[in-house]
Structure 1
Amino acid sequence: MTQARSRIVPPADRGYAPDAEDLAALDAWFRRYDAYAAAGDVAGTADMALFPLNTVTDDSSGEGSARQLDREEYLRVMGGALGDPGDLTMNSTRTPYLLTPGLAVVFTEAEFTVDGRSQRVRYADVLVRTGGEWRFQTMVQGGWGDQAA
């Protein structure tokens, strides 16, 4: 007896290649986000998100975790990280990968200097274009798990 099988086939990859306008729009989006972050304007950064927001991290033992934040929780969590920026400077190098005109994964290598103390970080964001605007929907960065517990 033959069993019927169903198969899900992913859509064909159209091989999307962003143009200069696509890249400029992402660059402008990140400049705006960075300006809010540098000013400690957590509500401004929240206005740029698509909630619920996914966060992915790990802790000092290497145990990974993921959770979703609504706007209120995001404001609380990020308020602790951005709320009092002190003497903050940020230098970032971003590498965007546009999967389609409306989906992007952006890898960032950055150096943050707060009150004269510097640290390097790497993280990734997933951005979704909705309503004609980019919104960040997923934040991925190691090392936040101990603080979230």
Structure 2
Amino acid sequence: MISLPGTGYTPTGQDRASLDAWFAEYDAASGKRDIERMAEMAVFPLNLVSDDSSGNGRSAQWDRDQFIATMTHVMGEGSQDITFESTRTPIFLSSSMVVVFTDSTMTEDGHSQQLRYADILLKRDGKWAFQTMIQGGWGDNL
């Protein structure tokens, strides 16, 4: 693929800082299992792309109620917060669209799990919101 001059977007320091702040807030909400707050940080319908236990690619769109029900089921009601240590690689398509690849270690009750996923976020009215979640293993929930 040939990249034409002037077609790429170079993020500003503020672009990156605002994205990092958004993820810090989202990770904090996730860690506390504050699923209502997580839903407030999304654009619905939310696109999901995954694969199922049979190895088939799956996609779906969730409304807010489906997101809350599924995340409540998946995240449970543990007694301890979940922590995340993440390395994120954002690819800004413009000042208001970004694809973010994440490698993360999630720890709960002393048990750690490696995660790799991607999100597509949109900036609306100056605030980021996630619109697409891409991660293997969720397909049976779609």
The corresponding residue for 1:90 is 84
- 1:124 matches 2:122: no
- 1:29 matches 2:19: no
**Bigger CA radius of gyration:** 1
The corresponding residue for 1:143 is 137
Q: How does 1:1-149 map to 2 (within 5 A)?
A: 14-87=7-80, 88-146=82-140, 148=141
Percent of aligned pairs sharing the same letter: 48
Deviation, 1:86, is 3.5
Task: Tell me which amino acid in the other structure corresponds to 1:119.
Answer: Q
CA distance in 1, matches of 2:31, 2:137: 21
Deviation, 1:126, is 0.2
TM-score after normalising by structure 2: 0.90
Task: Tell me which amino acid in the other structure corresponds to 1:22.
Answer: D
Deviation, 1:55, is 0.7
Question: Any runs of at least 4 consecutive aligned residues in structure 1 with deviations exceeding 4 A, and if so which?
Answer: none
Kindly indicate whether the alpha-carbon contact (under 8 Å) linking 1:42 and 1:83 is maintained by their aligned counterparts in 2: no
Kindly indicate whether the alpha-carbon contact (under 8 Å) linking 1:37 and 1:45 is maintained by their aligned counterparts in 2: yes
Gaps of 5+ in 1: 1-11
Kindly indicate whether the alpha-carbon contact (under 8 Å) linking 1:52 and 1:68 is maintained by their aligned counterparts in 2: yes
CA distance in 2, matches of 1:67, 1:13: 34
RMSD over equivalenced CA pairs, Å: 1.5
Higher RCO structure (Cα 8 Å, ≥6 apart): 2
What is the number of equivalent residue pairs in this alignment?
137
Gaps of 5+ in 2: none
